[in-house]
Structure 1
Amino acid sequence: MILSIPNVLTPEELQVITSSLNETDFVDGKTTAGWHAKVVKHNFQLKSEATYAKDLKDLVKAALKRHAVFQMAVLPRVIHSMLFSRYEAGMSYGRHIDNALMGNQDFLRSDVSLTLFLSPPSTYEGGELVIESTDAEQAYKLEAGSVIVYPSSTLHRVEPVTEGVRLVAVGWVQSLVREPSEREILFDLDTTRRAIFTKQGKTIEFDLISKSHANLLRKWAE
């Protein structure tokens, strides 16, 4: 399931992040790419030694943890390996697959990838995130403060930026439910039961869907 979620960051949080990011603290993005992704990765990333890096990562993680739709769709066990990326004119990230396992010693699985857009789309040209499916591909360029989540198992790329600067935060999630199709079923059930509760309250239908949601989550969660 690919899902765009608007307004994950408040305007104030977005301002804190973008005003904190210092161009001089960015380094070659190849330093965190897998051996094959290095060939097609052409961007800058905020160095981990930046004094404010942890605070910004914690801010983003807190925003994701409080957002109901993100939690329903992704079912995160842990959000990990977060990076802040900068694309200037001429930069891109070619077709690649994200590493299945990330971390130094305690490896974490990448079930869901996320891109949080930090630059308004009107401030740069190009830079679309393109996600491939079996017989098609879709380009995404969201409003600042919005996030897109998608299975880490998909091939994807970032188109060349031709003008301006594209700032994003990218991260990965080890989900409680690793299979994308199972997460989608749970998301649909959860969305439906919440809609019923909003319109009709705690009905028999709500209880039955809640039972199915809970029992499937119990069956599939790791």
Structure 2
Amino acid sequence: MLLKLPQILSRAEVQAMRERLADDGLWRDGRISAGPQAQTVKRNEQAAQDHPTVLALQAEVLAAVQRSALFFSAALPRRYYNPLFNRYRPEHPTYGPHIDGAILHSRRTQEWVRTDVSCTLFLSDPDEYDGGELTIHDTYGVQRVKLAAGDAVLYPGTSLHEVTPVTRGARIASFFWIESMVRSDEQRRLLFELDMNLLKLRERLGETAETTALTGVYHNLLRQWADS
């Protein structure tokens, strides 16, 4: 399931985050954190994740997504891999086709995190750069994503994906992974669709015997499928 999440960060929050990321001293060659296969296609910059500024921004990103009910319903988070920050410019323009590692070690929590769901939070507006589309290959074909600053996208961690070359400006984003309580993407999608339609029924009809029964179905499916 690919899902766009609008306004995870306000414009003011984006601006404040961008100002702190403007320090060129924060940025390193992105290949430092890549595995052997990814190093052959990764040509971007990544903020040093142990820097105090970056540690503070990681906490802000997690706080922002955790206040989104839509994010929770779609991801059903159990653990997070600490948010990272990347930058693409014509000098470091692209990250070619790759699939992320299945299990990553989080420096923030010292836990191993299964990468069920990937999240990219855009910090640059589309008119600030040319190229730089997040291109995701899934069962419905190729999806090209280029969102407003403050918006995010969720997609399965199993997906082949890439960032196309940036030819003008700078594309700045935060990205991280979620280990979900529900491992299966198909099961998460079904739960999400049930949850969203229950909300619409309640808005239209109020609380009824039928919505109460369907809520029970949702929670019983979650109880059957989830690991907590």
* TM-score category, normalised to shorter length: over 0.9
- Listed one character per residue, the Cα deviations across residues 110-160 of structure 1 (whole Å, up to 9, x for unaligned) are 000011000010010000000002462111100110000000001000000
Is the alpha carbon distance of 1:135 and 1:221 closer, same or farther for their aligned partners in structure 2, counting shifts above 3 Å?
closer
Which has the higher mean CA deviation after the structures are superposed, 40-49 or 156-165? 40-49
Aligned counterpart, 2:8: 8
**C-alpha distance in structure 2 between counterparts of 1:209 and 1:191, whole Å:** 12
Whether the 8 Å contact between 2:61 and 2:83 is mirrored in structure 1 is no
Normalised TM-score (structure 2): 0.94
Secondary structure at the counterpart of residue 17 of structure 1? helix
The equivalent of 1:30 in structure 2 is: 31
Matches of 1:131 and 1:205, distance apart in 2: 38
Q: Equivalent residue of 1:156, what SS? A: strand
Any unmatched runs of 5+ in structure 1?
none
CA-based RMSD of the aligned residues comes to 1.2
* Cα distance between partner residues in 2 of 1:53 and 1:102: 19
Asked if the contact 1:102/1:109 (under 8 Å) is kept, the reply is yes
Asked if the contact 2:58/2:82 (under 8 Å) is kept, the reply is no
Choose the corresponding residue for 2:122, options 117, 120, 129.
Answer: 117
TM-score, L = length of structure 1: 0.97
Shift in alpha-carbon separation, 1:135–1:9, aligned structure 2, 3 A: closer
d(CA) in 1 for partners of 2:62 and 2:5?
15
Name the structure 2 match of 1:209. Answer: 214
Taking only the aligned residue pairs, the percentage that are identical comes to 40
- Distance in 2 (CA, whole Å) between partners of 1:201 and 1:149 is 30
Distance (whole Å) between structure 1 residues aligned to residue 112 and residue 3 of structure 2: 26
State the partner residue of 1:168.
173
Native 8 Å contact 1:81 1:103 kept in 2: no
Query: How many residues are paired up?
Result: 222
